[in-house]
Structures are given as structure tokens and as C-alpha cells.
Amino acid sequence: MSVPTQTLPRQLDPQQLAEKFAATRALTDHLVSRLSPEDQVPQSMTTASPVAWHRAHVTWFFEELVLGRVDNPEHRFLFNSYYEQIGDRQPRPQRGMITRPSVTEITAYRANVDERVTEALKTGDLDERALELLEMGCSHEQQHQELLLMDFKHLLSLNPTDPVYLERPRDDAAEVPSLGWIPVPEGVGEIGADAAAGFSYDNERPRHRTYLPGSMVADRQVTVGEWKEFMAAGGYRRPEFWLSDGWATLKETGWEAPGYWRREEDGTWTTFTLSGRRPVVDSEPVMHVSYYEANAFAAWAGRRLPTEAEWETASSAWSYGDELDPDRCHPNNVRRNTLGGVWEWTQSAYLPYPGFEPEEGVASEYNGKFMSDQYVLRGGSALTPRGHSRKTYRNFFPAPARWMAGGLRLAADSPGEPR
């Protein structure tokens, strides 16, 4: 197959990497500084991980892949997530059983690896591949910063006392901008990451041609207010809007609103946030909806979800504007042509791009082996560290998942009235 754009290897600068490494590690520490040791241990469900585990795992990743030497073999066993090539590991559902090493010991482990990486950068001990893996390790830790926040939110939500991770002022609703459409013209387009253009994961590459059918993508996300209309129209009671698996999931789980929402005695809705339980805000993007729900909403609206290619093509009209603010950790009100706040479900299954080549070595297990039974989300969320995401970024989750910050924007075959 043809590779549309010729790529040259990027040159990585150790000094810049050292700064990025330090900043990334510091952000994790900052996010965790509000947590007690108790907060860091439990695992709220199999697909989530304890905060302490996240902290140790990202550290082990640097030790294993960049430094190439794991001082304590127990760390390899305990903190390997899923790398089969590295050997056996703590079973995923039992990550919450690890009370030793303690949080203090994990903090020390982090410091030790920080020191060793920093030293290795200074002494020039890291070859080009190690530098690449260090860059990837920073991106990896950023991913875990978001995971850590969303997993911890899920854990807190199971505490009936509605605890608060961080205090913040009450929310101010705003007028929601009317919906505009970004046209995506019919024809051959190009999507995907150019390896020479800066860091990207293997799953974003290669940049490649695709055929766009000619369509429109909404210039803003679906709001809480719009979701309430869907609910009022019987959205959770009318199977005609739902995928079959989605309807079965709804029946099984009893879904009748987005994740974390609760109908109060006065009939209003609240939602659980990292700042405790709060009334939902109509002008915010709807969040914690599954692929099934996003699809059903779009069907109800007479629209559909965009494909990855449509989304990425339309995204040239948009800017990032609502990434992680560690003092907020919650989306702002919806704005036009603005990315962030919530990840946006696309209609596209998470599959390899034509010409996809996994990373070499252990890193080959980073992305490719998850390319089944998941859907791509694009953009980024209010939990995504600044600078982590990009327009070619492919986030992915299974269709029923709701605990990440997932929302949606609509697409349409034509700009006319919805059917």
C-alpha cells in the first residue's frame, strides 16, 4: 500500500524530554496530593485500577522500557498491566488487594525511578529508542492521569456519603450556542498521524487516504439539556432507537439516565462529580454516556454519530479549549468549535488503519492487541492533561462503558431536517 506522505525520523531532544518527564511526574503527584493512603488502595471494578497501582504502574513502565532494568522483581509482577512478553502478573481483578508496598513505599519508588531516569538523561545513557520510549512513557503517564481521575471518581461514587475530591464554586449555566454544521465534502481525504510531525501512538499511524461520503458534523457537543429532551421523549423506554445489544444492556442494568445521574425527590436530576453530588447543568456537555446511549440519542435526533474520518476531517475547524484544570476536573459549558470537556463517541470500531505497524518490542502490546469490540472516541475531556490529546488521537472503549468522560456530537448525511 502507498504511504501518502514521506516521513523522516524525528530527532528527540534529551533536555526537552527531561522537562516533559519532570512536568508529567509532577502533575501526577499534584493530582494525588489530595488523597489519603486509604483513597489510593481500593479497586472499584475490574476495569478500573487503584490510584496507588496507577502511580506504581507508570513508574514501572519507565523502569522496564526505558531503563531496561527493574530493581525489584516484585514490582514487575505487581505493576505489569498486560504485557504478556514480560511474564506473569497480578491478576487484574486483584489489584485492589495490594496494600503492600504501602503508599509511602510507592512514593519512594517513584522518586527512585525519577532520579534514575533523570540521571540517565543527563549522562546520555539512553539511546534513541530509549528516548522514544521515554516520550511514550510520558504520554502513557498522562493517559493514566486521566484513568486515575475517572477510576477514583467511580470509587468515590460508591461511597454513599458523596465525598468530595476537590472543592470548587457552584456551576453557572450559560446559554447554549445554536447548533451549526461543519461540511465534510465528498472525496478522497487524508487522516492519521504523520510520524515525522511529533509524537503519536502507533494506532494513529500511518497517515492514509480515505473516501469521505460527503456529510456534515456538528460544531458543538450534545448538551445535558438536549439529553433531558431525549429522556423526556422516552429515550430510555423506546427500543426503536437502540442497537439490540444496547437495549439488552439497558434492560439488564436499568439505565434510565447517564452514569452518575440520580433523580431526586423533587424530580430534579443531580450527578456525582469530583466535587461531590451536584445538580446537572443544562449547558454542559452530556457526559458518562455509553456508545449505545450515544447511538440511541442520535437515532432519536434523526442524525447519526460521525465516523472517525469525518470527525478528523471536520476537526480542522476546531481548537482544544477544555482540557484538564486540576482545580476543576469537570467540563465547562459547551462552546462551538471547541474540543475537550468530554470525549466524543464516533461510529467507528477501533480497528487498525491500513498499513498499521505496531511498535517494536514490548511496546507492540500497547495498542494493537485491543483492536476488537471497542469503539473510537475522539477529542479529549476535562480530565485529559493539557497537550496529551491531538486531533489524530484514537481513544477507545467498549460500547457499554460509561465511567470515562464520554459524550458525543452529531453528524448528518445532509444538512436538511432530521428524519
How many chain residues touch a second copy (CB under 8 A)?
71
Contact between 392 and 200 (Cβ < 8 Å): yes
192 binds a second copy (CB under 8 A): no
Q: Rounded to 10 degrees, what is the CA torsion of 13, 14, 18, 19?
A: -30
Instruction: For residue 237, state whether it binds a second copy (rule: CB under 8 A).
Output: no
> Per-residue contact track with a second copy, 149 to 188, x per CB under 8 A?
------xx-xxxx-x----------------------x-x
The three three-digit cell numbers of residue 28, written as one number:
501526577
- Touching a second copy, residues 83-112 (CB under 8 A): 84-85, 90, 94, 96-100, 102-103
Gap between the terminal Cα atoms of the chain: 39
Amino acid symbol at 294: A
Minimum distance from residue 250 beta carbon to a second copy (Å): 12
Reported as type and span, the H/E element at residue 292 is helix 291-300
Stretch that binds a second copy, among 21-29, 120-128, 192-200, 348-356 (CB under 8 A): 348-356
- Residue 209 is a binding residue for a second copy (CB under 8 A): yes
Q: Which residue spans within 140-275 are E strands per DSSP?
A: 181-184, 187-191, 208-212, 215-218, 261-263, 269-273
Burial of 150 (0-12, 13-18, 19+ CB in 10 A): buried
Three-state DSSP class for residue 167 = coil
Indicate whether 414 belongs to the interface with a second copy (CB under 8 A): yes
Can you read off the three cell numbers belonging to residue 66?
Answer: 526505558
Neighbours of 340 (CB within 10 A): 26
Site string for a second copy, 16-45 (x = CB under 8 A): --------------------xxxxxxx-x-
Which of the ranges 11-19, 116-124, 211-219, 252-260 carries the binding residues for a second copy, by CB under 8 A?
Answer: 211-219
The residue within the footprint of a second copy, chosen from 19, 128, 229, 245 (CB under 8 A), is 245
If we measure between CA atoms, which residue out of 191, 121, 231, 240 comes closest to residue 354? 191
Asked if 82 is part of the footprint of a second copy (rule: CB under 8 A), the reply reads yes
Question: For residue 230, which of 292, 179, 293 has the smallest C-alpha distance?
Answer: 293
Name the residue with cell 458523596: 162
- For a second copy, which is the closer residue by CB, 332 or 367? 367
**Do you find a cis peptide bond into 183, omega within 30 degrees of 0?**
no
Site for a second copy in 302-331 (CB under 8 A): 304, 307
Q: Tell whether residue 215 is a contact of a second copy (CB under 8 A).
A: yes
**264 makes contact with a second copy (CB under 8 A):** no
- Least Å distance, CB 321 to a second copy, is 30
The region of 6-14, 172-180, 217-225, 290-298 touching a second copy under the rule CB under 8 A is 290-298
One residue of 177, 276, 326, 355 binding a second copy per CB under 8 A: 355
Neighbouring residues of 264: CB distance < 8 A, sequence distance ≥ 6? 270
**Interface pattern 40-79 for a second copy (x via CB under 8 A):** xxx-x-------x---------------------x--xx-
